[in-house]
Amino acid sequence: MGYNQQSNNMKEMEELKRSLDTKSPIPLYYQIEEKIREHIQTGIYLPGDKIPSETEMFSILGVSRNTIRKVYQDLYAEGLIEKKQGKGTFVCVPKISHKFVTVVSFTQELIARGITPTSTVLSLVVRNADSDTAEKLQIGIGEPVVYIERLRYGNGKLLGYNLNRVPESLCPGLDKVTINNESLYTLIEKKYGHTVTKAERTMETIPADSFVARMLHIQEGYPVLKILGIAFNQERRPFDYCVEYYID
């Protein structure tokens, strides 16, 4: 590994360490996995790049060895990284994904198919934006963001898990609003005047890690549909950055 790549790896790991939220209900291993996945998907880590070893990651991030071991096990299982004997850990060729643009929400899609959508809110809190969230929402690092975790159902059957991130500056007090079965975008439009004019989404099928498996009551490794999305309002400002997992 060249000096520049090693230096960049250290910089990314230090940034990752600063972004970890120990007070979040989202497990640390999952936060770390999502950040590494994001680095791979956005090209910060390219196929063939060497990444820090488990020991190096443990030393840099200061979390438990079991947490780091879990991160690497999940990323190996997804085919995102591979270990080469005597050489280290490297980024694999990325999985094929599909990017598309839509303005149809989960709720609208189910209603159009004659299915009754319902939701259960797991958490609704304000946190400071990490670098990834800030970049996607085009806000400053550390600015307050409303995090909304929900389970999604169709005709009473569990279908998915969603995590939405909404800038508090665009939707002040959203964390105090009761969010039941109404579409989040419909609620935001009625209360704050933000209309979805475009939603960019990237979709791929991946094996469920232990966190997603627990949320969806499925076995670890079961295929799920993962969707990363950004919704834009009529002023072309992003007002929602979400990650969604659905039983495939």
In this predicted structure, what is the pLDDT of residue 136?
Answer: 93
N- to C-terminal Cα separation, the chain? 38
Q: Which residue has the higher pLDDT, 115 or 159?
A: 159
Per residue in 1-15, pLDDT (tens digit) is: 444 455 566 777 888
Per residue in 7-40, pLDDT (tens digit) is: 566 777 888 888 889 888 888 999 999 889 888 8
Q: Which residue has the higher pLDDT, 170 or 107?
A: 170
For residue 166, pLDDT over 90 is answered with yes
Q: Kindly write down the DSSP assignment for every residue of 196-221, as one continuous string.
A: --EEEEEEEEEE--HHHHHHHT--TT
- Mean pLDDT (the chain) is 86
Overall average pLDDT of the 103-126 stretch:
81
Long-range Cβ contacts of 41-48 (<8 Å, 24+ apart): 41/94, 41/97, 41/202, 41/228, 44/8, 44/12, 45/91, 46/91, 47/91, 47/92, 47/93, 47/94, 48/90, 48/91
Residue 188's φ and ψ, nearest 5 degrees, are: -65, -40
Three-class DSSP category at 226: strand
Binned at pLDDT 50, 70 and 90, residue 44 comes out as confident
Q: Taking a C-beta distance cutoff of 8 angstroms, is the pair 199, 231 a contact?
A: yes
In this predicted structure, what is the pLDDT of residue 104?
Answer: 56
For residue 99, pLDDT over 60 is answered with no
Binned at pLDDT 50, 70 and 90, residue 169 comes out as very high
For residue 98, pLDDT over 50 is answered with no
CB atoms within 10 A of CB 154: 19
For residue 142, pLDDT over 80 is answered with yes
CA distance 39 to 132: 9
Q: Taking a C-beta distance cutoff of 8 angstroms, is the pair 148, 166 a contact?
A: yes
What domains lie within the chain, and their CATH numbers? 3-91 (1.10.10.10), 98-247 (3.40.1410.10)
